[in-house]
Chain A
Amino acid sequence: MNDVDRSRASLKVLVADANPKRGQALSQTLRADTSLEVLTVPAGMALIDAVQLHGPDVVLVDMERADRDALDSIRALSRSAQERPVALFVDEDDVELMETAFDTGICSYNVLEALPQDVKPLLRTAIALYGRFRRARDELAEAQRALAERRIIEQAKRFFMENEKTGEVQAHRWFQRRAMQTSRKLAVVAQEYLAAQKKGDA
């Protein structure tokens, strides 16, 4: 191994994500850096067992994982007579990074000798990827919500057309006017109309 290679000695990173899809995406992203050896926690394996198996330098942990508590204890536990115990990564001087990581739902544990300049880029990469996944999930939820609203409005209009013997344009106008008069969303007005309808049926 020449000097250049040695300076880029590989860092062993364990990705512990409860969401397999996201975990895979994060692993792939990290593997682009050839100085990293990226490992994942096999499905069904406890986080602490994976840490003991792989002996990583850095562990990126999804904070939704309930078995994260075992990592807290690693140094105090009798059985963790491990060669390289990991501890929660904390950068007191970079509160913003720590808070962003927390809000994003990811944290990092690392061996004591790991350098912040080695850990922080990994944590930032994970934060960015988690952020993308969250946005995608939010967008999906928003699309689903819009679709549900659409359905309610259509159904309310159908009832209105039946009750008032009118066409769709008139029905739409009626709901629109009512929404404007009461400063509420069209979907809310439609929902109320449907609720009143059901009550009337009962």
Chain B
Amino acid sequence: MMSVPIRIGVLKLADSAPVIMARQKGIFARYGLETEIVVSPSWANIADGLAWNRLDAAVLFAPLALMTMLGRRGHDTVLHPLSRISRGGNTIMLRGVNPVKGVWKSGAEGREIFDIWQAAIGRKPRIAVVHIYSTHLLILRRFLKMIDVDMDREVEILVMPPTDMISAFSEKEIDGCCVGAPWGMEAEQIGLAFCVGGSSTVLPDHLEKMLVVSDALFRSADTARRMFSAMQESLSFCRMPEHREEIAEILALPLSEGGLTLPREATFRILPGGTVQETLGFAGGEVQFPDIKWIINDMAALGWLDHDECGNLVFWTDSPDARLLHAHAPSL
């Protein structure tokens, strides 16, 4: 057993539920894991924490994990995808009045609705995401492409924390956002924005977050295996609709009581078992290459990855067992 706690970085998002619940339900402890959950104010802190050995694991989306690994924002850092965490849950929210009822259709019809909405807004739409190297940006780009809108030319992209988006909507600083759960639902409930699409209309069930671990933790094979098992148990718990109420309750608790101060009602509505347009799914198992293939392709299309890097990343998701064997190979 490790003598120091495993430091796991999370943000105030519903995706963090499997880590939060693993502690609350004593699952980590049952697997002999001592953990310290670090609630981070920004994605940059998560990436820096992993880069400077201040975090051992984090709930993270693949684009930032890959860019951190490649040293695109600080020094390069070996990271491993230990487990899937969540699927979908991202919402594209716009302010003002929705010209149609519900989500927008793709193609020319969607483009027409976009033009009507933009005319009402009266400027080049300002659309916020939480981080540039996020799945949200990729989903937003795909959505705009589906309605024939060029992200580079026709909208202005901003980056801000989800909680700031709520106030930015009310002050008309932004016209839209692509944001993770439960923040889109929260904006809708307050009456600040409406949902025009998101994960389910762009790329249903796409991998959203994963548990990424440091090389040191990964090489401590027994700990990594126990961590994986604990996460699978917690993910199974979080997937069950009958636990929706309890999870929402705990995520709404203050930090000092092990929660994330999430808005309770919005969180309850988007958890598995909810019936809203975009619900968050929890996904167990190892991260497989098909899970991140679209992400790598999109990142390459944006010019973030070159041909060689794409080729090397194919091996990133080799099964942990295979890689644990590799990790042990020198000592054999």
Contacts and interface: CB of A to CB of B under 8 A. Distances in A.
B is bound to A? yes
Nearest to B71: A90
A112 to B, nearest CB: 14
B45 A63 contact: yes
A66 B159 CA distance: 11
Contact of A69 (B42, B54, B163): B42
Contact of B48 (A66, A95, A102): A102
A48 B73 CA distance: 17
Given A73-B132, A92-B75, A68 B52 contact: no
B156 interface: yes
Contacts of B45: 63, 68
Contacts of B49: 102
A70 B130 CA distance: 8
Given A102-B48, A102-B49, A102-B52, A68 B42 contact: yes
A96 to B, nearest CB: 11
A103 interface: yes
A186 interface: no
A99 B75 CA distance: 12
B3 to A, nearest CB: 20
Nearest to A73: B132
A64 interface: yes
Interface in A95-115: 95, 98-99, 102-103, 107
Contacts of A77: 132, 157-159
Given A66-B163, A78-B157, A102-B48, A72 B132 contact: yes
A72 B52 contact: no
B160 A67 contact: yes
A46 B160 contact: yes
Most buried by B among A67, A73, A88: A73
A73 B48 contact: no
Interface bin, chain B: 20 to 34
B269 to A, nearest CB: 24
Contacts of A46: 160, 164
Contacts of B151: 78
B267 to A, nearest CB: 19
B53 A99 contact: yes
Given A63-B45, A65-B41, A79 B156 contact: yes
A172 to B, nearest CB: 33
Given A67-B164, A90-B74, A107 B48 contact: yes
Interface in B36-56: 41-45, 47-49, 52-54
A101 B151 CA distance: 36
A127 interface: no
Given A90-B75, A107-B48, A72 B131 contact: yes
Contacts of A107: 48
A76 interface: yes
Contact of A78 (B48, B130, B156): B156
15 contacts: A65-B41, A68-B44, A69-B42, A69-B161, A70-B160, A72-B43, A72-B47, A72-B159, A76-B304, A77-B157, A79-B158, A88-B44, A88-B73, A88-B74, A99-B53
Instruction: Enumerate the 3 nearest inter-chain pairs by beta-carbon distance, A residue then B residue, closest first.
Output: A73-B132, A66-B161, A70-B159
Interface of A: 46, 48, 63-73, 76-79, 87-88, 90, 92, 95, 98-99, 102-103, 107
Given A46-B164, A77-B132, 17 more contacts: A63-B44, A63-B45, A65-B42, A66-B41, A66-B161, A66-B164, A68-B44, A70-B159, A72-B44, A72-B132, A72-B133, A72-B159, A73-B159, A76-B133, A77-B159, A79-B158, A88-B48
